[in-house]
Amino acid sequence: MRLSELNSLSESPTLWDKPEAAQKLLQERNALEKAIADVRTLERGITDNAELIELADAEGDAAVAAEAEAALAGLGKIARARQLETMLSGEADKNDCYIDINAGAGGTEAQDWAEMLLRMYLRWAEQHGYKLAELDRTDGDGAGIKSATIQVSGLNAYGWLKSEAGVHRLVRISPFDSNAKRHTSFSSVWVYPVIDDSIEITVDEKDLRIDTYRAQGAGGQHVNKTESAVRFTHIPTGIVVACQVDRSQHRNRATAMQMLKAKLYEAELKKRELAANATEAGKTDIGWGHQIRSYVLHPYQMVKDLRTEVETSQSQAVLDGDIDMFLEASLAAKLAG
């Protein structure tokens, strides 16, 4: 059994002689332990609720039976998600990922929408036990953000979130409009995998334009008074990455280079998979014709994915991070295709 083998290897006194290999081994072991625990929890839940329904039927307790049936339906959804998760077999599906969010045209309204999307992904990641790091952020003019980059770390982060790449459209009564008119705003999302040292991506220094600037936001006086933030522009592709998370410009440069290599790798991965459309949406005009999902808050409540036709009227729940229905539908559609 693979788990027994990993447990034996993890007890080796030479395990940490190679820290990166040790970390991968422990990550695989923890993932297997979690998968087995999840299956056992599902089995117990199904058995317990099936028995509860039998007892409730025998005693004529319709309320208890209904409650147990609802619990079984919930377990069915969890089982479906776990089944889909086992089919995340893409080259980088198990990796951590970066998420870039950029506000479209529209000033404060679009920038507020970009921050709402950022919050949505942060909430989703927190609810699913993923680790988060904000690598770059440019605040908006008065409210919201112009752009932000976060790293989501945990098993299958890229596999689950890669279908979020594209343009997201919001329709609502703008809180920034004194005339209370309805506004349509757009923000783009680009998702790409964190790559490890086993994947070699070469970047020629002459192909880079490197800019340094003062970091903004929290971090102390040192961050704001020195040009610790770094921005790389890859001239051949036009790809831009930035990092201001650390007080050290050297460490920010290293992180930015990792991000750039990840974007270059993801672009090549998409070409090989003949699935560049979603990625390209993040690099084209942020507006009509490129959106993947519509979030309508007025005159009615509706969030609809334009690729899978999955929709819900629970818009606030979606904005609070409840996006599993869209992720699962996108993954199922891709697997079916």
| pLDDT tens-digit readout, 118-157 | 999 999 999 998 999 999 999 998 899 999 999 999 888 9
Instruction: Give the Å distances, CA to CA, from 162 to 117, 151, 166.
Output: 15, 13, 10
pLDDT tens digits, one per residue of 191-246: 999 987 667 788 998 999 999 988 765 444 444 557 889 999 999 999 999 999 88
Contacts with 185 (C-beta within 8 Å, 6 or more apart), sequence order: 103, 104, 106, 109, 110, 112, 113, 169, 170
Best mean pLDDT range from 27-31, 173-177, 229-233: 229-233
How many residues comprise the chain? 337
Scan for tokens 């927190």, then name that residue: 126
Are 168 and 295 in contact by the 8 Å Cβ rule? The answer is yes
Sign of the CA dihedral 90, 91, 93, 97? negative
Listed in sequence order, the residues at least 6 apart from 113 whose beta carbon sits closer than 8 Å to its beta carbon are 103, 106, 144, 168, 170, 185, 186, 187
The rounded distance, in Å, linking the Cα atoms of 133 and 5 is 32
What are the angstrom distances between the C-alpha of 95 and each of 211, 252, 256, 336?
Answer: 29, 21, 18, 22
Residue carrying structure tokens 């990796």: 95
**pTM of the full predicted structure?**
0.76
Report pLDDT digits (tens) over 292-334.
999 999 999 999 999 999 999 999 999 999 999 999 999 888 7
Domains (ranges, CATH) in the chain? Answer: 2-85 (1.20.58.410), 91-337 (3.30.70.1660)
With beta carbons less than 8 A apart as the criterion, state whether 315 and 295 touch.
Answer: yes
Whole-number Å distance between alpha carbons of 30 and 305: 33
As a whole number of angstroms, the distance between CA 290 and CA 288 comes to 6
User: What pLDDT score does 321 carry?
Assistant: 97
Per-residue pLDDT reduced to its tens digit, 85-94: 777 777 788 8
With cut-offs at 50, 70 and 90, classify the pLDDT of residue 105. Answer: confident
Please indicate whether residue 109 or residue 27 has the higher confidence score (pLDDT).
109
- Could you tell me which residue, 196 or 9, shows the higher pLDDT? 9
Strand pairing report for 166-173 and 291-296: parallel
| Rounded mean pLDDT, 19-46 | 84
The pLDDT tens digits for 242-269 are 999 888 899 999 999 999 999 998 888 7
Find out whether 292 and 304 touch, Cβ atoms under 8 Å: no
